[in-house]
Structure 1
């Protein structure tokens, strides 16, 4: 039984895959298995994975008969995991040198928590690197384990699957799995953190998150971004099934509104002709799930108005930012 099971779903990433696999297999801490899931990739991902499996017995390869998407490809790898802890690594990202040694040491120090959250950095195609803007949340958490109730600020971190390791027994006990569709990390990460009885942090950059020049799947203009509504419905349904989690509903309600407005504001996500519908669906869900007495102010207050009012506010904001930019240029 290895300490870590690293699950790597692969689809159309042949140009990045070797660097990803090497970042795992060349770690100074080698007590691991790497479960690579070929999600019916049309490029050479499958052949690259078999090449690595032939020369390293720690590599297990699954070839899926059809493309199922990122979340369900991770699900396919889960039954094959035998490690104490699960780590989900996207196949265009990399672990930093020494990451697994530092993680293993922190897990031992914290007496095997349910979840360990570590830090990451964004790496850009032009060579730049930027650390997680909320790194201070990890620095302030200290050495003790905690719950979300004790440190709710942990929910402010990017709600992704790949900046954490998860005790496999904990995941199996609760039956956590990824749903289909875009934003599949959302209904995994919120239930996992809300359910964890012991969370620890590691204030160290353990993963480099690649920002591709041509973007990734989430920067594809598509109606698939409407999936975010179904994913948050799953989060709210989970909270509804656990009465003790009702205290977190105001936070989740606001987070949903902010997340959806962020998607709407990005120019490369939704087809222009679908933006009004996306706003209306978001506003309806925001009203339906609003907890009694919840404070609605700031940006999310726009969801209580019309799409026309939202657009006017956005245009005014852009005009203001452009005026500031021109004034700075003159100075």
Structure 2
């Protein structure tokens, strides 16, 4: 076997899948992939196990407790069988063609160390070459290490931070002196720079450990001049990196590192940058209207008031009223934490939809800014308006409002024509405010971890809005059907398509008149347009009922016998009911191309397709004529879909959230 790829993993769930796919899915080189689960408590181990189960080239090694990247790499190297070792991080990517290029290079020679070309990509998608030395004496440079050479010299990664400095640079120096150091200029590895959650993006004094790492290396190599030069380059890079050395520690690091030159130059440059920032902020403030300045002045005064430990602010769907996960949390808090006063934020356009007796404030009002300044708890499924200042002590729960099929967050950057001027900087700044992010399944947690890169805690507790699917009795469901004037003997189909980024207004892809005409009087179709449209414009009749304005989509799900949808995230919630789901997807190719999706809804694979599939009206009608819409085969697909996307939903999600957020209970 030519190559053993060792990937230590700790808290990499949002990135690991792409890393493993980049190794196993490209090239023809002979390899094995060894993933070392270093006591990760997120979904990384499950992702690695999934790959190992389906590809015999992949294996998983486990550290029960987190020991660090160095010991994890050593564990992988000890089990490796390939002639060469390649160490990748859980967020690195092996580039297309890399394995073929490596195989071709090693076919004609057998270096002890082969340096690989590489680049870096940040969370904005900006690709840049790394800042490395011309001789390969940089720990950032990925390299292949001949396993026999590695073992013969007793090379091992060290414990603690900067575990790669001693073994990797020692190996490079030994190979250079022996004339067995080679270089492959082709970009083979892409380092993904994560915004948060890694050692490299957490500033602090722990980065001073690099000084000891280089002292050990210099002692082992006799203070080789090449190592001394590499040390200086590396330490200067760290000094300038705010993700490593905090501004208040830079002078001390400069002194401890004994770097040439004066640190006063760095301080002067920092002062210039800070001064420019303050001037820019003052100019922007000066452009605001008088009313806005007065409102903000009152808000700044309110920010000096103490936080109210019993005040919670709720919002949903950009201030549309009481709905979704925040509504279920609010209701459960009234029951389990009655000391918490809940106030809703609503726009003036939607104030008439507020239920009687529910406290609310109008967005942008003085009352709104006061509660945003003084509430301890902030709960929303979208975002609060106006750019509030999150105070120390405030706890922000982002509940989200669906499981992602289409691309979200920073992943939308690949589809600029449809982002409508979205500020991705604001998306990231918003995520920085969150303390908790609620999730309904591991798939969602994995996606959020990457597309909203910040330091919040994942709460894998389920979606509170789905509790009603488990707690509503048949008698209660019958009462809802009666209020909607639905004959109990009729089969109710809920048609709930999502919106199209590339189309304005609701234009059904389904001929509803033909559907109801050919199905006959036994069926009635409830049409629920996406809330972006406000009204469906569907032909209202005895058998086609527009329910877009109904306040609770959960009630519509409860009274229906089956769901017909295209790409709406409602399918993931509806799966909790274990009722037929029919995917009517006439423009799937266009939808995927224009917005991007995380899996192939029409693949027919368990866990991806929720039930019967139709791409035309004729196919949809055929499903009903033959009974395939509720067959044993589609029931099996639905069961796999439900197992993947509803594992945390059991009727008690709201209770778990309330206990975690308001009562100090354990989280997910």
Shared fold (TM-score greater than 0.5)? yes
* CA deviation profile, 1:27-86 (whole Å, cap 9, x unmatched): 222411111000000101111111111111111111101101111110111110010110
CA distance in 2, matches of 1:165, 1:193: 10
Whose helix proportion is higher, 1 or 2?
1
Aligned to 2:120: 122
How far apart are residue 315 of structure 1 and its match?
2.9
How far apart are residue 26 of structure 1 and its match?
1.0
How far apart are residue 112 of structure 1 and its match?
0.8
Residues 121, 279 of structure 1: alpha-carbon distance in 2 compared, 3 angstrom cutoff: closer
How far apart are residue 261 of structure 1 and its match?
3.5
Structure 1 runs of 4+ off > 6 angstroms?
319-324
TM-score under structure 1 normalisation? 0.76
Contact 1:17-1:92 at 8 Å conserved across structures = yes
Residues 164, 220 of structure 1: alpha-carbon distance in 2 compared, 3 angstrom cutoff: same
Q: Which has the higher contact order (CA 8 A, sep 6+)?
A: 1
How far apart are residue 229 of structure 1 and its match?
1.1
Aligned to 2:75: 76
Residues 256, 44 of structure 1: alpha-carbon distance in 2 compared, 3 angstrom cutoff: same
1:164 aligns with 2:143: yes
TM-score under structure 2 normalisation? 0.39
CA distance in 1, matches of 2:33, 2:219: 33
Where do residues 196-275 of structure 1 align in structure 2 (5 Å cutoff)?
196=175, 197=178, 198-214=180-196, 216-240=198-222, 248-249=224-225, 251-275=226-250
Contact 1:181-1:224 at 8 Å conserved across structures = no
* Root mean square deviation of aligned Cα: 2.5
CA distance in 1, matches of 2:71, 2:150: 15
How far apart are residue 319 of structure 1 and its match?
6.3
1:180 aligns with 2:159: yes
Aligned to 1:301: 260
3-state DSSP of counterpart to 2:221: helix
Residues 121, 276 of structure 1: alpha-carbon distance in 2 compared, 3 angstrom cutoff: closer
Contact 1:12-1:41 at 8 Å conserved across structures = yes
Where do residues 51-130 of structure 1 align in structure 2 (5 Å cutoff)?
51-109=50-108, 111-130=109-128
CA distance in 1, matches of 2:135, 2:233: 17
Larger radius of gyration: 2
CA distance in 2, matches of 1:316, 1:275: 13
Aligned to 2:526: none
Contact 1:53-1:60 at 8 Å conserved across structures = yes
CA distance in 1, matches of 2:70, 2:8: 9
Contact 1:121-1:132 at 8 Å conserved across structures = yes
Aligned to 1:14: 13
How far apart are residue 127 of structure 1 and its match?
2.2
How far apart are residue 215 of structure 1 and its match?
6.7
Contact 2:202-2:244 at 8 Å conserved across structures = yes
* CA deviation profile, 1:93-139 (whole Å, cap 9, x unmatched): 11011211110111112x211111110121222222223466xx8xx
Residues 272, 120 of structure 1: alpha-carbon distance in 2 compared, 3 angstrom cutoff: closer
Contact 1:119-1:132 at 8 Å conserved across structures = no
- Equivalent in 154, 159, 165 of residue 135 of structure 2: 154
Contact 1:32-1:83 at 8 Å conserved across structures = yes
Aligned to 1:316: 268
CA distance in 1, matches of 2:20, 2:40: 16
How far apart are residue 13 of structure 1 and its match?
0.7
**231-240 vs 38-47, which moves further:** 231-240
**Which structure 1 residue ranges, 5 or more long, are not aligned?**
138-152, 241-245, 284-299, 303-308, 325-331
**Which structure 2 residue ranges, 5 or more long, are not aligned?**
277-668
Aligned to 2:629: none
How far apart are residue 265 of structure 1 and its match?
3.2
Contact 2:195-2:201 at 8 Å conserved across structures = no
Aligned to 2:401: none
**114-123 vs 178-187, which moves further:** 178-187
3-state DSSP of counterpart to 1:9: strand
How far apart are residue 178 of structure 1 and its match?
0.6
Residues 234, 180 of structure 1: alpha-carbon distance in 2 compared, 3 angstrom cutoff: same
* Count of aligned residue pairs for this structure pair: 274
Residues 47, 207 of structure 1: alpha-carbon distance in 2 compared, 3 angstrom cutoff: same
CA distance in 1, matches of 2:25, 2:16: 14
CA distance in 2, matches of 1:319, 1:280: 20
